Amino acid sequence: MTAQKSILSASHDGNLSFCRRTRQSAMAAEDSGKTPSVENIFTGFRDSRRFDFSLADPTPSTLTLSPDQLNFCHKALGIFREKIVDPGSIALEFGNLQANRMLSSEMQLSCTVAMNSDNLGKNRYTDVVPFDKNRVVLNPSKDYRSSAKGYINASFIKVTSSSSSESISQFIATQGPLPHTMEDFWEMVIQHHCPIIVMLSRLVDNHKTVKCGDYFQAEDGPRKFGKKSIVTKWIKTTDTSLVLRNLEVNCLLQTEEHPMSILHIQYPEWPDNGIPNDTVSVREIIKRLYQVPPRLGPIIVHCSAGIGRTGTYCAIHNTIQRILAGDMSALDLAKTVAMLRDQRIGMVETMDQYLFCYNAIVDELKDLTVGTNAGTSLFSPPHTTGNLTSCRRARSHRQSVMATANSGKSPSAANLSTGYGDSKRFDFSSADSPPSKLSLSPDQLSYCHRALEVFRGKIVDPDSIAREFANLQANRMWPSELQLTCTVAMNSVNSEKNRYSDVMPFDNNRVVLNPCKDYRSSAKGYVNASLIKTSSSSESISQFIATQGPLSHTVEDFWEMVIQQHCPVIVMLTRLVDNHKTEDKPMSVLHIQYPEWPDHGVPRDTVAVREILKRLYQRILAGDMSALDLAKTVAIFRSQRIGMVQTMDQYFFCYNAIVDELEDLTAGTNTGTSS
- Could you list the active site residues? 303
User: What single letter denotes the amino acid at residue 48?
Assistant: S
Give the integer Cα–Cα distance in Å for 194 and 152: 15
Helices then strands, each counted (H, E), the chain = 17, 17
Exposed/middle/buried for residue 546 (C-beta within 10 Å: 0-12, 13-18, 19+): buried
- The answer to whether the Cα torsion of 175, 274, 92, 78 is positive or negative is negative
Give the integer Cα–Cα distance in Å for 422 and 424: 5
Q: Quote the DSSP letter at residue 113.
A: T
Q: How far apart are the first and last CA of the chain?
A: 24
User: What single letter denotes the amino acid at residue 205?
Assistant: D
State the helix-helix crossing angle for 351-370 and 87-99, rounded to 10 degrees: 130
Cα dihedral value 595, 599, 602, 603, nearest 10: -20
Residues forming beta bridges with residue 198, ordered by sequence position: 265, 301
User: What single letter denotes the amino acid at residue 147?
Assistant: S
Q: H or E segment at 665? A: helix 648-667
Do residues 32 and 66 make contact, with C-beta atoms less than 8 angstroms apart? Answer: yes
Do residues 594 and 573 make contact, with C-beta atoms less than 8 angstroms apart? Answer: yes
Burial call 164-180: b when 16+ CB within 10 Å, e when fewer: eeebbbbbbbbbbbbee
Q: H or E segment at 225? A: strand 223-225
